[in-house]
Amino acid sequence: MNSKKYFSNYFSLINKGLDFVEIADLEKVVDLVKTTADSGRKIIIVGNGGSASIASHLTVDFINAANIKAINFNESSTITCFSNDYGYENWVAKALECYADSGDVVILISSSGQSKNMLVAANKAESIGAGVITLTGFSSDNPLRKLGEINLWVDSNAYNIVEMVHHIWLLAIVDYIVSSEE
């Protein structure tokens, strides 16, 4: 495949993923984030690998651009300590136990929707009384997608396509919040 055809196809797949979302679902995320922020609560964003990078970027933009309290759990000592002491599948739940409060919102990002630590975290967030937003891809019936209050799903089995779409959706949400405050 030549490069022009490859890149054209690649960007087409991203555009297809972007267009797949229901705008009403993005509006629900905006409303939940704004309600949470207005009540003095925080947004907690978590992911593994590339999704952890998305969580870091989103956290900074919530704080710096939108003036919304947000945290993520990308500190290596937290991850390795809780993984070592409680098992990898439980480390996010343990971090939520330490940092989440009732009324917070937890955004869980997992391309496959099958990451055990995200599944355990969704159940922990619910037990704490935190709202849960999930971002997934791959199979439409992945288990994480069934656990969120709001679930954004990308119809793709390619990690980078799913992650790019998640990233764009989330940053669009931040930018919308910022623009609506101006």
Res 176: pLDDT: 98
Res 182: pLDDT: 75
pTM: 0.96
Domain coverage including residue 111: 3-181
Look up the CATH number of the domain holding residue 154: 3.40.50.10490
Q: What single DSSP character describes residue 105?
A: E
Closest CA to 147 of 129, 161, 133: 133
Q: What single DSSP character describes residue 88?
A: G
Q: What single DSSP character describes residue 155?
A: -
For each of the chain's 182 residues, which pLDDT tens digit applies?
799 999 999 999 999 999 989 999 999 999 999 999 999 999 999 999 999 999 999 999 999 999 999 999 999 999 999 999 999 999 999 999 999 999 999 999 999 999 999 999 999 999 999 999 999 999 999 999 999 999 999 999 999 999 999 999 999 999 999 999 87
Distance between CA atoms of residues 173 and 133, nearest Å = 13
Overall domain count for the chain: 1
Q: Is there a contact between 162 and 154 (Cβ–Cβ < 8 Å)? A: yes
